[in-house]
Structure 1
Amino acid sequence: MSHSEPRPTGGDPAPQILTDSELGRARTAALDAAVGAYDIRGRIPDQLDEDILFALGWATALTMAEIHSIAEVVIGHDMRPSSPGFAHSFAAGVDAAGSKAVLLGLCSTDQLYFASGIFDLPGAMITASHNPADYNGIKICGPRAAGVSLASGLSRIRELAITAPQNDGRSVVEDENAASRMREQYAARIRELTRVDEVTGLTIVLDAGNGMAGRLLGEIFGTDAGAASVPFDVIGLFTELDGTFPNHEANPLKPENLVDAARAVVDNGADLGLVFDGDADRCFFIDETGATMSASAVGALVAEREIARARALGDDRPTVIHNLITSRSVAETITAAGGRALRSKVGHSGIKTLMRETGAVFACEHSAHFYFDEFFGADSGMLAACHLIAALAESQAPASRLVADYDRFVQSGEINFTVSDPDAVLADFVAHAADFPESTVDDLDGIGLQGSDWWVNLRKSNTEPLIRLNVEAADAAQVDALTRQVSEFVTTRA
């Protein structure tokens, strides 16, 4: 895909030189595969390489200048082997477009969002999040961490990248002053919002999965960002940065990647376990028994805290957003706490936009993404984790008891089906809604059915020929029955 390979030495074959038209075709194929609804992600090197990153940097700079009249982009990267080179190539593209590239170096995705916020600049994070080691990608945001989707910039970036000039080999130096300011202010903001540095008497296990949370451990709980260490114990697992993920995938969505943290919590008599994904924007939680805590329950707990904070500041009825796959207990908790519950589609870009439009103080998703208005409306796994640590210390109850009141329903978890025509399956499902008596149809995101004490949602993937099924009900038997009924419906039409 690159217009040239490294210069040969000795008897190596001559480099392959692509014409502009050949390069354009190669870029088109790669970008069609890698650009999704909300971010860019693909295999390396066949879908993403340094030429594509240069082109995307050039296109991002032009797009952000068009939309926001800002000729500057802040850039960070994770610990994957390809990420430093990709970040420098992206920054070179920004520079080639006539904009300034503020290159932060290694950081977590929520730190990149925070930098976008404090510097009021569009940003780009080089990461493939929880994907396997042979992937990489880019998460792009507008100024102050605003969401970017196909409809709000990604489509234009893809279009421009195809015609970007070839990389002329320019280099961009990392901005150590900007990176240092970001790290110090990020740690101070999280400590200020949660008072986690005042917590005592707890033992926490943090599984970084060899991802960016390994660096955050020292910055938030230790002295690496210039503050004193927290007065409680933190046991780190797999904190060395290693984008080959030698211990387990940095993907807490898979239960097998939670086993090490669960075992460490039990073996050490710890109060709580934290398991982060690769770019550390998402955190899953383990209670003192080694059981996984529901993301909906954690979201409800944090929502209650955020509503109390907002009400104390004079907001009589703070808005909290929850995507439609979160448990019904989330909306019930929001209402009971004096807030206004607002359902949304799944997806971070839309939620960030909705937060800005409604002035929401908090938002949560079933996938353990937690968004805070005090954090520029961006999602932060570490901020959510510190809220839970603070709540645990305040309650003096075990973690399992802390979330029990928010965990009143049984969920199926997300079940994926490969189908040839997702739209046809959804249309057919609406036609068969009568098979589910005493229910109402909901089309906010895919097709949902709402019963008195249960709901079902079928929605299509934004990037794959998949249908995703989620079910919730008052008891496990009802969940099993509904899941079986809908699964049979989908598989007969696959």
Structure 2
Amino acid sequence: MRDLSKLIKAYDIRGLVGEEIDTDIVREVGAAFARLVGTTVAVVHDMRPSSEPFSQAFAEGVTSQGHDVIDCGLGSTDLVYFAAGRLNVAGAVITASHNPARYNGIKLCRPGATPVGQDTGLADIRTMLENGIPAYTGTPGTVTHRDLAHAYADYLRDLVDLSGIRPLKVAVDAANGMGGHMVPIVFDGLPLEVVPLYFELDGTFPNHEANPLDPANLVDLQNKVREIGADIGLAFDGDADRCFFVDETGIPVPPSAIVALIATRELAKVSGSAIVYNVITSRAVSEIVTERGGVPARARVGHTFMKALMAERDAVFGGEHSGHYYFRDFWRADTGTLAAMHMLAALGTTDKPLSALVAEYTRYVASGEINSEVADVPGTLAEIEEKYVGAETDRLDGLTVSLDGGAWFNLRPSNTEPLLRLNVEAPDADTMARIRDDVLALVRR
């Protein structure tokens, strides 16, 4: 029996090309997915060298089981969510997102862009791959080609009207990923002077990795913003479902401030709605949501948990520290481009610079995520919980400890490695540093 543990992750399928994933496996995944969903599948692929042949193999797998494929060609991950939502079909995108060039993978969703994760289909696909795909003797499905990029752009522009904003100079780093393909289509004709960085599609990532969560990959954008006097900088990851922001001084904007700002905009349209955020998002988000008349709803980290809670609470918006932003108007799916349009609309309807605008949504000092290798993860969490007996704690996702004065920390296990991930937030830098160092001393002793 094949070992698929390295290939089938909690939220998607991803592995080293030629070693853990190849066209044969992708074809089998397509067949298994077709049997799982029992409907037409829209397929999108990114710019990695293996992505187009993988897309063709996936389509062969789907059609081998008697189901049809809509081949949407090159596109971002949120393009497949659009296809799944607008056409009410299942979706698959061939991408490894922000991973280095030697990786590729598959993200899957059901009709309506409902996510497929370990507990909602990936485990079933793994079982079929391990046991063999049952033979199908009926009529094969067909493949049709359909360009949805402009319909996607029109849909986003209907959700956020940028036609009346003041002119903005926008530096955009696509990292040679799918942002370089999608941004020109969506932003065409708007009052934006787009200054592109690395828009050439190249899945070998010759300039820097397509992972804006790593500060090293923001340096070129920060320098360009300062050099040209841009009003804002946008950094997309490889499949363009995430977007990070840089202010006019070249300083990265905390994603929690983005969550609070977009939540405020959405609550202005849908008063009293729930807003979903994860356990390591700033406490300022829940405070601001409450002040704006919304209902804060706290979720575990990860898109399946976020989307499930959004559906349960009928939330208008959800956001994570990792640059994923989810919209009810976009089938509760995450889209970096729509988040960028909200930020451009907010900035373009005020005379304030971006730094001043986001300062209104920033109330605390955060440590950022700090990883520690730990031999006994459950034991370490139990020890630390005991050390902070008397404080308010919860186990929604790892261990969260709330302290006096609005400070808190969260220790969360990695899904794949013997690591604990620490996030600390406090009203001031000194308090944050003290708590951070105290907890790290306990974790690493």
Does the pair score TM above 0.5?
Answer: yes
2:194 maps to 1:234: yes
CA distance in 2, matches of 1:94, 1:134: 25
- How big is the shift at 1:347? 0.4
Alpha-carbon deviations, 1:10-35, whole Å to 9, x = none? xxxxxxxxxxxxxxx3xx21x21111
CA distance in 1, matches of 2:77, 2:416: 21
Aligned positions of 1:20-31 closer than 5 A: 25=1, 28-29=2-3, 31=4
2:320 maps to 1:368: no
Give the letter aligned to residue 34 of structure 2: A
The equivalent of 2:98 in structure 1 is 130
Contact 1:55 1:162 in 2 (8 A): no
CA distance in 1, matches of 2:180, 2:143: 21
- How big is the shift at 1:77? 0.9
CA RMSD of aligned residues (A): 1.8
Determine helix, strand or coil for the equivalent of 1:257: helix
- Among the aligned pairs, what percent are the same residue? 45
2:120 maps to 1:152: yes
2:169 maps to 1:203: yes
The equivalent of 1:175 in structure 2 is 144
Aligned positions of 1:177-192 closer than 5 A: 178=146, 180=147, 182-192=148-158
Determine helix, strand or coil for the equivalent of 1:472: strand
Pairing partner for 1:310 from 251, 270, 288: 270
2:335 maps to 1:380: yes
Pairing partner for 1:392 from 321, 329, 347: 347
CA distance in 1, matches of 2:300, 2:96: 22
Unaligned 5+ residue runs, structure 1? 1-24, 66-70, 223-228, 312-316
- How big is the shift at 1:171? 11
Pairing partner for 1:445 from 394, 397, 407: 397
2:238 maps to 1:278: yes
Q: In structure 2, do the counterparts of structure 1 residues 87 and 220 end up closer, same or farther at CA, with 3 Å as the change threshold? A: same
The equivalent of 1:116 in structure 2 is 84
The equivalent of 1:257 in structure 2 is 217
2:38 maps to 1:85: no
Which range moved further: 350-359 or 194-203?
Answer: 194-203
Give the number of aligned pairs: 442
- How big is the shift at 1:424? 2.3
The equivalent of 1:62 in structure 2 is 35
- How big is the shift at 1:282? 0.3
- How big is the shift at 1:380? 0.5
The equivalent of 2:20 in structure 1 is 47
Give the letter aligned to residue 242 of structure 2: R
Determine helix, strand or coil for the equivalent of 1:284: strand
Aligned positions of 1:264-343 closer than 5 A: 264-311=224-271, 317-343=272-298
CA distance in 1, matches of 2:436, 2:100: 29
CA distance in 2, matches of 1:171, 1:136: 27
Pairing partner for 2:40 from 72, 95, 104: 72
Q: In structure 2, do the counterparts of structure 1 residues 325 and 352 end up closer, same or farther at CA, with 3 Å as the change threshold? A: same
Determine helix, strand or coil for the equivalent of 1:280: coil
Alpha-carbon deviations, 1:49-71, whole Å to 9, x = none? 11110111111111112xxxxx2
Give the letter aligned to residue 86 of structure 2: I
Q: TM-score, normalization: structure 1?
A: 0.87
Contact 1:199 1:232 in 2 (8 A): no
The equivalent of 1:219 in structure 2 is 185
Alpha-carbon deviations, 1:441-481, whole Å to 9, x = none? 11110011011311110111122222111110011111111
- How big is the shift at 1:193? 1.3
- How big is the shift at 1:264? 0.8
Give the letter aligned to residue 211 of structure 1: G
- How big is the shift at 1:167? 12
Unaligned 5+ residue runs, structure 2? none
2:390 maps to 1:424: no
- How big is the shift at 1:296? 0.3
Contact 2:78 2:240 in 1 (8 A): yes
Give the letter aligned to residue 149 of structure 1: G
Pairing partner for 1:247 from 207, 214, 224: 207
Give the letter aligned to residue 441 of structure 1: T
Determine helix, strand or coil for the equivalent of 1:293: coil
Q: TM-score, normalization: structure 2?
A: 0.96
- How big is the shift at 1:427? 2.3
Determine helix, strand or coil for the equivalent of 2:333: coil
2:445 maps to 1:485: no
CA distance in 1, matches of 2:190, 2:299: 36
Which range moved further: 417-426 or 244-253?
Answer: 417-426
CA distance in 1, matches of 2:219, 2:265: 29
CA distance in 2, matches of 1:167, 1:84: 26
Pairing partner for 1:408 from 335, 347, 363: 363
Determine helix, strand or coil for the equivalent of 2:435: helix
- How big is the shift at 1:198? 3.0
Q: In structure 2, do the counterparts of structure 1 residues 46 and 372 end up closer, same or farther at CA, with 3 Å as the change threshold? A: same
CA distance in 2, matches of 1:379, 1:318: 18
Contact 1:123 1:145 in 2 (8 A): yes
Q: In structure 2, do the counterparts of structure 1 residues 250 and 166 end up closer, same or farther at CA, with 3 Å as the change threshold? A: farther
Give the letter aligned to residue 33 of structure 1: K
CA distance in 1, matches of 2:246, 2:338: 16
- How big is the shift at 1:174? 6.0
2:413 maps to 1:460: yes
Contact 2:67 2:141 in 1 (8 A): no
CA distance in 2, matches of 1:167, 1:127: 28
CA distance in 1, matches of 2:262, 2:327: 10
The equivalent of 1:35 in structure 2 is 8
CA distance in 2, matches of 1:113, 1:397: 34
CA distance in 2, matches of 1:299, 1:162: 41
